[in-house]
Amino acid sequence: MKHKMLEKFGEVFGNTEEAKVYFAPGRVNLIGEHTDYNAGHVFPCALTIGTYGVARKRNDGILRFYSLNFEHLGVIESSLEDLVFQKEADWTNYPKGVMWAFQEKGYTIKQGMDLLLFGNIPNGSGLSSSASVEVLTGFILRDMFQFSVSNQDLALIGQFSENKFNGVNCGIMDQFAIAMGKEDHAIFLDTADLSYEYAPIKLEGAKIVITSSNKKRGLGDSKYNERRQECETALAELQEVIGIEGLGNLTIEQFEEYKSAIKDPVRQKRAKHAVYENQRTIQAKEALTANQLALFGQLMNASHVSLRDDYEVTGIELDTLVEAAWKVDGVIGSRMTGAGFGGCTVSIVKDEAIDTFQKVVGENYKETIGYEADFYVVEVGNGPVVL
Ligand code: GLA
pLDDT given for residue 223 in this prediction:
87
Among 201, 222, 244, residue at a domain's last position? 201
Residues 143 and 161 in one domain: yes
- The residue type found at 296 is F
Hey, which residues does 115 pair with through a beta bridge? 55, 65
Q: Ligand 1 mean position to 227 CA, how many Å?
A: 11
Q: Say if ligand 1 is within 6 A of residue 33 CB.
A: yes
Residues 187 and 215 in one domain: no
User: What is the CATH classification number for the domain harbouring 106?
Assistant: 3.30.230.10
Among 201, 216, 245, residue at a domain's last position? 201
* Sign of the C-alpha dihedral computed for residues 122, 142, 197 and 189 taken in this order: negative
Domain that holds residue 67: 2-201
Give the CA radius of gyration of the chain.
21
Q: Say if ligand 1 is within 6 A of residue 34 CB.
A: yes
Has residue 385 been placed in a domain? no
Q: Say if ligand 1 is within 6 A of residue 317 CB.
A: no
Q: Ligand 1 mean position to 337 CA, how many Å?
A: 9
Q: Ligand 1 mean position to 293 CA, how many Å?
A: 24
Contact 311, 275 (CB under 8 A): no
Neighbours of 46 (CB within 10 A): 31
Distance CA 313, CA 226 (A): 11
Locate the ligand 1 atom nearest the alpha carbon of residue 173 and give its number.
9
Cβ neighbors of 221 (< 8 A, separation 6 or more) are 168
Residues 360 and 267 in one domain: yes
Has residue 192 been placed in a domain? yes
CA 178 to chain CA centroid, Å, is 8
Among 160, 186, 201, residue at a domain's last position? 201
Maximum Cα–Cα distance across the chain: 67
pTM assigned to the model: 0.96
Q: Say if ligand 1 is within 6 A of residue 173 CB.
A: yes
Number of domains in the chain: 2
Q: How many CA atoms lie within 13 A of 337 on its CB side?
A: 30
Q: Ligand 1 mean position to 339 CA, how many Å?
A: 5
Spell out where 68-103 has E strands. Answer: 76-79
Residues 212 and 196 in one domain: no
Has residue 386 been placed in a domain? no
Report the chain (387 residues): mean pLDDT per 10 consecutive residues: 96 96 98 98 98 98 97 97 94 97 97 97 83 98 98 98 92 98 98 98 94 76 88 98 97 98 98 98 97 97 98 96 98 96 95 98 98 96 98
User: What is the CATH classification number for the domain harbouring 242?
Assistant: 3.30.70.890
Give the residue among 104, 166, 86 at the shortest CA–CA distance from 133.
166
Please identify which of the residues 174, 190, 310, 319 carries the catalytic annotation.
174
* Exposure string over 156-166, b if 16+ CB within 10 A, otherwise e: bbbbbbbeebb
Residues 219 and 367 in one domain: yes
Residues 52 and 183 in one domain: yes
- Ligand 1 pocket, mutate which of 125, 133, 160, 174 (most atoms under 8 A from CB): 174
Q: Say if ligand 1 is within 6 A of residue 307 CB.
A: no
Residues 30 and 152 in one domain: yes
Has residue 384 been placed in a domain? no
- The residue type found at 232 is E
Strand order in the sheet with 206-212: 331-337, 344-350, 206-212, 374-378
Active site residue 329: no
Distance CA 308, CA 312 (A): 5
